[in-house]
Amino acid sequence: MHNAGNGSSLSTYSRRKRRFLARFLCATTVVLGLAAATSVLSVGASTSRASTSHSAYSAIDIVPPGARVNYANYQQYAWLYPDAYTHYTRPSGKIKFCESTFYMGNTFQQGFEAAYLQEVHAEVRAGVASPDFILENSNNTTATQISQLQSEIESGCDVIVVEPSSATAFCPEFKKAFDAGIIVIANDPVECNYAITLSFDVYENSYELASHLVAGMGYKGNIIEITGVPGVADAATATNASNAAIAGHPNLHVVGVYTGDWTASIAQTATAQWLATHPATVNGIVDEGAMGVAAETAFAEAGRPLPKVSLQEGDCQELAFEKLHPSLVTYMTDQAPAPSAYMSMDVALRMLAGQRPATDTILYPIPGPTAATFNQWWTPSMKVTSSCFASPKPALPALTNYLPQFFSGGTAVTSFPQPS
Q: What is the mean pLDDT of residues 372-383?
A: 94
The pLDDT, as a whole number, for residue 394 is 92
The pLDDT, as a whole number, for residue 314 is 86
Q: What is the mean pLDDT of residues 338-349?
A: 96
Q: What is the mean pLDDT of residues 398-407?
A: 95
- Could you tell me which of 316, 329, 224 has the C-alpha nearest to residue 2? 329
Mean pLDDT is lowest, of 20-24, 100-104, 372-376, for 20-24
| Neighbouring C-beta atoms of residue 97, cutoff 10 Å | 29
| Neighbouring C-beta atoms of residue 179, cutoff 10 Å | 10
Q: What is the mean pLDDT of residues 268-295?
A: 97
Domains in the chain, ordered, with CATH?
A: 16-76 (no CATH), 97-200+338-366+397-408 (3.40.50.2300), 202-332 (3.40.50.2300)
pLDDT band at residue 11, thresholds of 50, 70 and 90? very low
Q: What mean pLDDT, rounded, does the chain reach?
A: 86
Please tell me whether residue 362 adopts helix, strand or coil conformation: strand
Query: What does DSSP say about strands 356-357 and 284-287: parallel, antiparallel, or unpaired?
Result: unpaired
The torsion region of residue 54 among left (phi > 0), alpha (psi -120 to 50) and beta comes to: left
- d(C-alpha 296, C-alpha 325), whole Å: 11
Cα 303 to Cα 88, 224, 241, 327, 365: the distances in Å are 59, 17, 31, 19, 38
The pLDDT, as a whole number, for residue 368 is 83
- Residue 372 pLDDT > 70: yes
pLDDT band at residue 232, thresholds of 50, 70 and 90? confident
| pLDDT digit string, tens, across residues 123-146 | 999 999 999 999 999 998 999 999
Query: What does DSSP say about strands 407-408 and 356-357: parallel, antiparallel, or unpaired?
Result: antiparallel
Q: What is the mean pLDDT of residues 321-342?
A: 94
The pLDDT, as a whole number, for residue 292 is 97
Residues 6+ apart with CB under 8 A from 70: 200, 201, 204, 363, 364, 365
Q: What is the mean pLDDT of residues 322-326?
A: 97
The pLDDT, as a whole number, for residue 109 is 92
The pLDDT, as a whole number, for residue 166 is 92
Q: What are phi and psi of 202, to 5 degrees?
A: -60, -40
- d(C-alpha 418, C-alpha 420), whole Å: 6
Q: Which residues of 141-158 are buried (b: 16+ CB within 10 A; e: fewer)?
A: ebeebbebbeebbeeebb
| pLDDT digit string, tens, across residues 19-47 | 333 333 333 333 323 232 222 222 223 32
The pLDDT, as a whole number, for residue 2 is 37
Decide: 214 and 245 in contact? Cβ < 8 Å: yes
Mean pLDDT is lowest, of 79-83, 151-155, 208-212, 316-320, for 79-83
Q: What is the mean pLDDT of residues 176-196?
A: 95
- d(C-alpha 228, C-alpha 188), whole Å: 14
pLDDT band at residue 15, thresholds of 50, 70 and 90? very low
pLDDT band at residue 56, thresholds of 50, 70 and 90? low
Q: What is the mean pLDDT of residues 364-371?
A: 87
Return the higher-pLDDT residue of 366 and 115: 115
- Could you tell me which of 370, 387, 372 has the C-alpha nearest to residue 333? 370
Taking only Cα atoms into account, the Rg of the chain, rounded to an integer number of angstroms, comes to 21
pTM of the model: 0.83
Please tell me whether residue 256 adopts helix, strand or coil conformation: strand
Q: Please provide the DSSP assignment of 290-311 as one string.
A: S-HHHHHHHHHHTTPPPPEEEE
| pLDDT digit string, tens, across residues 58-101 | 578 899 999 999 998 898 999 999 889 999 999 999 999 999 99
The rounded percent of the chain whose pLDDT value lies above 70 is 86
- Could you tell me which of 202, 228, 224, 203 has the C-alpha nearest to residue 213? 224
Q: What are phi and psi of 72, to 5 degrees?
A: -55, -40
Give 270-279 contacts, CB < 8 A, sequence gap 24+.
270/226, 271/224, 271/226, 271/295, 271/298, 271/299, 272/298, 272/301, 272/302, 274/224, 275/299, 275/302, 275/304, 276/302
pLDDT band at residue 352, thresholds of 50, 70 and 90? very high
The pLDDT, as a whole number, for residue 57 is 55
pLDDT band at residue 231, thresholds of 50, 70 and 90? confident
Q: What are phi and psi of 276, to 5 degrees?
A: -60, -25
The pLDDT, as a whole number, for residue 132 is 96
pLDDT band at residue 153, thresholds of 50, 70 and 90? very high
